[in-house]
Amino acid sequence: MRVGVFDSGLGGLTVVKAISETFKGAEIFYIADTMFAPYGEKTKEQILQHSLDLTNYLIEEHSIDALIVACNTATSAAISELRRMFPHLIVIGTEPGIKPAIELSKSGNIGVLATPATLKGSKYQSLVDKLFSKKEVKLFEQACPGLVEQIENGHIKEEKTILMLQHWLKDMLSNNVDTIVLGCTHYPLVSETIKDIMGSEINLIETGFAIAKRLENLSKEKGHINIGPLKINVYFTGEINLKMVDSILDNWIDGGKIKVRNRYE
């Protein structure tokens, strides 16, 4: 099984990490589209075009069997078109975990941290409308412009990042929000800071393990046998923070378990 994964930057590696813990006998080709990051502040048309370009590259150069759009923003903008254009592929998108948040919350007050584009997207809005019609809960949505860039640059524990999160989480803290949906694959990388602000009892919902499980189930239907080694290749289109890559993937670069290279070389 050859699996292509892409995101605007390093956030999708949190999905790759989740996949690596259970998925075997495969090769993963991950693209960090850092030249065009962040997606969250671009138009739907721009995001769709980048998604198509990356998918065509993964098919032509790496003959992938499955595609994972490891980005909430790109999923909202492009997933329907990708499934239409590439029906031979397993295509898995990323959605904010609204449903598990509703099931887990005791206060009924749920926060969502996401990029501006995700919150404005029709896919997110239809998901919210569908799920919130079934249960009475209160939603606190917060766009986080600039947070992806802070994470990409490795500024996870810096004062600026902490102040940004304190500002965005202020209303959630004062309104007894007990569950927060991390609506961007980058955001699990600042989960410890979020817990420091909201308290250790806060429930944080991320989607990496749900995607990994979905990949397992769909690939099994295609005849994949989940045994054997897993190879990981990381490509980038612009500058990349190798220390962050290594940190997310448990120092696998030094251990020789992954290869990192420029897509255009």
With left for phi above 0 and alpha for psi between -120 and 50, is residue 197 left, alpha or beta? alpha
Q: Residue 33 maps to which CATH number?
A: 3.40.50.1860
* 13-59 per-position pLDDT tens digit: 999 999 999 999 999 999 999 999 888 878 999 999 999 999 999 99
pLDDT of residue 254: 57
User: Within this chain, do residues 90 and 21 fall inside the same structural domain, yes or no?
Assistant: yes
* 74-108 per-position pLDDT tens digit: 998 999 999 999 999 999 999 889 989 999 999 99
Enumerate the active-site residues. Answer: 71, 184
* 191-217 per-position pLDDT tens digit: 999 999 999 999 999 999 999 999 999
User: Within this chain, do residues 21 and 85 fall inside the same structural domain, yes or no?
Assistant: yes
Supply the range of the domain harboring residue 242.
2-94+208-262
β-pairing, 109-114 vs 90-92, is: unpaired
Which structure tokens are listed for 118?
A: 């995700």
Residue at a domain's end among 167, 189, 205: 205
- How many domains does the chain divide into? 2
pTM of the model: 0.90
Residue 40 gets which letter from DSSP?
G
Residue at a domain's end among 188, 205, 222: 205
User: Within this chain, do residues 216 and 249 fall inside the same structural domain, yes or no?
Assistant: yes
Over its C-alpha atoms, the chain yields an Rg (Å, rounded) of 18
pLDDT of residue 256: 59
**Which residues make beta-bridge pairs with 32?**
7, 236
Are 38 and 67 contacting, i.e. CB atoms less than 8 angstroms apart? no
What does the pLDDT average to over 117-128? 85
Q: Which residues of 67-101 are buried (b: 16+ CB within 10 A; e: fewer)?
A: bbbbbbbbbbbbbeebeeebeebbbbbbbbbbbbb
Which structure tokens are listed for 251?
A: 């120092």
pLDDT of residue 9: 92
User: Within this chain, do residues 62 and 126 fall inside the same structural domain, yes or no?
Assistant: no
User: Within this chain, do residues 122 and 176 fall inside the same structural domain, yes or no?
Assistant: yes
User: Within this chain, do residues 72 and 196 fall inside the same structural domain, yes or no?
Assistant: no
- Strands (E) in 61-174, as ranges, are 66-69, 90-92, 109-114, 138-143
User: Within this chain, do residues 10 and 23 fall inside the same structural domain, yes or no?
Assistant: yes
Are 33 and 240 contacting, i.e. CB atoms less than 8 angstroms apart? no
Please give the Cα distance from 87 to 10 (Å, whole number).
27
β-pairing, 66-69 vs 90-92, is: parallel
User: Within this chain, do residues 156 and 240 fall inside the same structural domain, yes or no?
Assistant: no
264 CB-contact burial (10 Å; exposed 0-12 / middle 13-18 / buried 19+): exposed
With a cut of 80, say whether residue 133 has pLDDT above it: no
Which structure tokens are listed for 148?
A: 């992806």
* Spacing of C-alpha 263 from chain mean position: 20
